[in-house]
Structure 1
């Protein structure tokens, strides 16, 4: 209900109104003081060695991405998220190291390795849509997002890739995606503006001889063996490897690894 304004010209009337307003405001102030610090809801109480509450962790992940839903109920990364700030910080460190190495002790064929999912593009929208629970429907939605190229690009990674390529650094993508998605993945990266000097996906059949684990490779042996092959056969020297998992750069054949934040899943 809107207050109705009363015009007045009498000094006495003005004084009376002022006193009445003061009394009302004073009463409101007392009431506000009484309710200004309501008891906060207690955090989920853990018993003994009980892990963190899953629902609370999911809420924290959404808050970390400043996530919001559109009119269709689909999730998006919000502006000015803490996740974006942390990504920018880590990519800044990676770029500083790359600049330093190129200026001092640059290899003959410098290269960087980039992961794709949640390093070059963010899969948060689909993961959040399916409550971070995975499953066949989530995998289908993920594949559709790749094909339609609707996942948001991680701009600091894109900027670093462009800068590196412009300064003579080979930009090589090594991803845990299976090689039946090679064409979709290449189209996705190219449409987003990424330079591609190499693109390697896990084989579903007919693995190359440099993969001792064949089609059963997990992240570490697949990615490190691929870097080893490129180093020994093509002369690449990986100054750095960047991913959202430790397994993206573990296993050797890169000088330094940089991990981007990803609280949604873990790939050992």
Structure 2
């Protein structure tokens, strides 16, 4: 997931435009987890970057139902989410099952990504081959926090999980990332977590097995007012997820890289171009516009 920050908020999953309530995310789950999978870019634009097709939008949160019994029951939807992840208790944490439907779906996406990266061709004029990954629910799984918080985001408790490196890996993702690095891909991480959470983020990624550079040149965290990078053209308080992430990817490409693939669990991680192909990691727990 790309956890986008509201100005001044301390935690990793703060939002530019607010988090959808669980019920809205629940509608997504109730409709069959349709947001997992892969989106392929269509064609190069005039700038030499690939233009992405439109991503489907989730159900609107502003349309008021006319009947209460038309709304999915929150408890039942939560149970569906738990069943999809295969809720498993390890120590004091609830984590996804290694053999559940979530793990199976993620492994399928990773296999397709590996096949694509193994055969992708990069033209010398387009730069050194690279890949970019979101963090929350793309490379680190936050299901344990969602269960702890009752699917209700709290900036203080979330920051505790982030800063104490409490998230497990998204199953199979360290192997994919490390394999890509071994094949000559430069790996970048691009997250909406704020700079104040850099140390915890680096520790967590290293802890679960990501064996790639995690310095400031390869790990991009969200800026705050006063430290806005020159390549970002929108103010910290108003910059949308898509603007922040696409402008950062544009900056990476300006450094001489071809972003062969872009991975994220939110469509806002993937929109805006600057990436030859996008891979959507399933996440029925919440939606970030």
Partner of 1:35: none
CA distance in 2, matches of 1:150, 1:80: 21
What is the deviation of 1:189? 1.5
Partner of 1:32: none
Partner of 1:131: 150
Matches within 5 A, 1:167-182: 167-182=183-198
Are 1:253 and 2:253 matched, yes or no? Answer: no
Q: Which one has a bigger Cα radius of gyration?
A: 1
Q: Provide closer, same or farther for how the CA distance between residues 108 and 231 of structure 1 changes in structure 2, counting only shifts above 3 A.
A: closer
Q: C-alpha deviations, 1:142-181, integer Å up to 9, x for none?
A: 2222223221112321111101111110100000111111
Note the residue ranges of structure 2 that are not aligned, 5 or more in a row: 1-65
Asked whether the equivalents of residues 110 and 170 of structure 1 are also in contact (C-alpha less than 8 Å), the reply is yes
Asked whether the equivalents of residues 220 and 250 of structure 1 are also in contact (C-alpha less than 8 Å), the reply is yes
Are 1:231 and 2:250 matched, yes or no? Answer: no
Divergent runs of 4+, >6 A: none
Higher relative contact order (CA 8 A, sep 6+): 2
What is the deviation of 1:52? 1.6
CA distance in 2, matches of 1:117, 1:52: 26
Q: C-alpha deviations, 1:33-65, integer Å up to 9, x for none?
A: xxxxxxxxxxxxx95882222111111001111
Asked whether the equivalents of residues 162 and 197 of structure 2 are also in contact (C-alpha less than 8 Å), the reply is no
Question: RMSD in angstroms over aligned alpha carbons?
Answer: 2.1
CA distance in 2, matches of 1:108, 1:50: 52
CA distance in 1, matches of 2:261, 2:282: 17
The 3-state SS of whatever aligns with 2:70 is coil
Are 1:51 and 2:71 matched, yes or no? Answer: yes
Q: C-alpha deviations, 1:100-155, integer Å up to 9, x for none?
A: 104x7575400101000001110001101221122x3xx33322222232211123
CA distance in 2, matches of 1:47, 1:92: 43
Asked whether the equivalents of residues 177 and 201 of structure 1 are also in contact (C-alpha less than 8 Å), the reply is yes
Aligned residues: 217
TM-score w.r.t. length of structure 2: 0.70
CA distance in 2, matches of 1:155, 1:166: 19
Are 1:218 and 2:240 matched, yes or no? Answer: yes
Partner of 2:119: 100
Note the residue ranges of structure 1 that are not aligned, 5 or more in a row: 1-45
If each structure's helix is expressed as a fraction of its own residues, which one has the higher value?
Answer: 1
TM-score w.r.t. length of structure 1: 0.75
